[in-house]
Structure 1
Amino acid sequence: MKIKPLLDYIRKYVDLTQEEEAILTSKVIFRKYLKGQYILQHGDVCKYQCFVISGCTKTFFLDDEGQEHIILFSVEDWWTSDMGSFITQTPADLNVQCIENTELIMFPIETTEELYDKIPKLERFFRKIIERGLVATQKRLIRNFSLSAKDRYLYFKNQYPDIEQRIPQYMLASYLGITKEFLSKIKSQLLLED
């Protein structure tokens, strides 16, 4: 199993012993998905927290008109799931779909509490990454309300330059909350300003 990227990521927050690493490795699942496959679909109960080893996913919801609203992209060393569904074990509001062939390490709901009991440091680890995720979500909400579409695009481009190269423009427009035509107009204006 390609566990090294996950262990390297965890080490940024907590130190695990070799025995704890072995326990963790025995409780997680490694899985490959093809481009276009769903990791989670709206209405299903989220059974896994997923760490991206390779690839790219989008987390989105569909409105009543069938319009897709992307709320998150996840690439290597990022997490993906519907945390509300995972924590409450109720039907998911969100979809998680692979934009590229993707490899994940998945933490099953059934073993999460067991891992916390056997490796208390993991509870601290997950608390820290969930706190970071909450802060990032709040900051994104504030940017969406306070920045112009152009400034939201520039923020994304500067913050996540690698992601922009990996996703279709219509998906980036959905994430920014604008049409793909308006995104093209913003990019054209920026080229003229250079």
Structure 2
Amino acid sequence: MKTSTQTTIFKNIKNKVLSYTHVDDAPLKYALDFYQIIHLKKGERLVSPGNLVDHFYYMEKGCISFYKIKEGEIKVLEFYTDDVFFTDLIAYVKETKSNCYLEATEDTTVFAVKKELAEKSFQKSHQLERFGRLSMQEAFLKTFNRVDRLNNRSNEERYLRILNKRPDLLQRVPQYLIASYLGLTPVGLSKLRKRLGKG
């Protein structure tokens, strides 16, 4: 039996699924029963290099840094915050081991569903299959847009986008990780902030 807190949390993920497409109550309950709640302390990892990626996640509350280490330096690929689905998408789709990290930058609560169980639910319901397809398409689109911004927008444009779209990150994430996410050094970010009158 779920506690009142768990019921509230499951309401959040239920609403998120329904934001993609309508799903009848019975198949939705069937699918959500496969999700397990994971609580992470700041600095704990969901995924490390060498781990097989066979789970898809829903961020209930918190922040996860998705990054890799290249030539001894952290390269932040994305930050996942409240109310999103996420995983190491390439490793998940290919069913291979990750070469990246998914690490909590603050105390975090996520739901995890094993890939084979998610697919089992998709086979049970066309509505759930549609949700799975749409959520996966959204994840791929976010990855594409991220690469496009790095390649085609200036440092200033990328920083201003964070200020406008995700200002909470500047309070929740260390500046050196923000710098990495923007493709800058910490010194470069400091100079940019001062030039824009934000530092």
Q: TM tier, shorter chain?
A: over 0.9
Instruction: Give the alignment partner of residue 152 of structure 1, picking from 158, 169, 183.
Output: 158
Correspondent of 2:46 among 25, 28, 39: 39
Q: State TM-score, norm by structure 1.
A: 0.93
Secondary structure of 1:178 counterpart: coil
The offset of 1:151, in angstroms, is 1.4
In 1, distance between residues paired with 2:134 and 2:29?
Answer: 22
Q: 1:130 to 1:147 in 2, by over 3 A?
A: same
Q: Is the 8 A contact 1:82 1:93 kept in 2?
A: no
Alignment match, 2:3 = none
Q: For the Cα contact (< 8 Å) 1:80–1:96, is it kept in 2?
A: no
Which of 93, 98, 113 in structure 2 is aligned with 1:107? 113
Task: Decide which of 29, 33, 49 is 1:26's aligned counterpart.
Answer: 33
Answer whether contact 1:3 1:105 (CA < 8 A) is retained: no
Aligned pairs, number: 192
Give identity over the alignment, percent.
25
1:19 deviates by 1.2
SS at match of 2:37: strand
What corresponds to 1:16 in structure 2?
A: 23
Q: CA deviation at 1:77?
A: 0.7
TM-aligned CA deviation for residue 46 of structure 1: 0.9
1:79 aligned onto 2:85: yes
The one-letter code sitting in structure 2 at the alignment partner of 1:131 is Q
Equivalent residue, structure 2, for 1:166: 172
CA distance in 1, matches of 2:66, 2:39: 17
Distance 2:86 2:52 in 1: 14
- Which among 122, 125, 132 is matched to residue 116 of structure 1? 122
One-letter identity of the residue aligned with 1:75: T
SS at match of 2:159: helix
- Could you say which residue in structure 1 is the equivalent of 2:11? 4
Q: CA deviation at 1:134?
A: 2.2
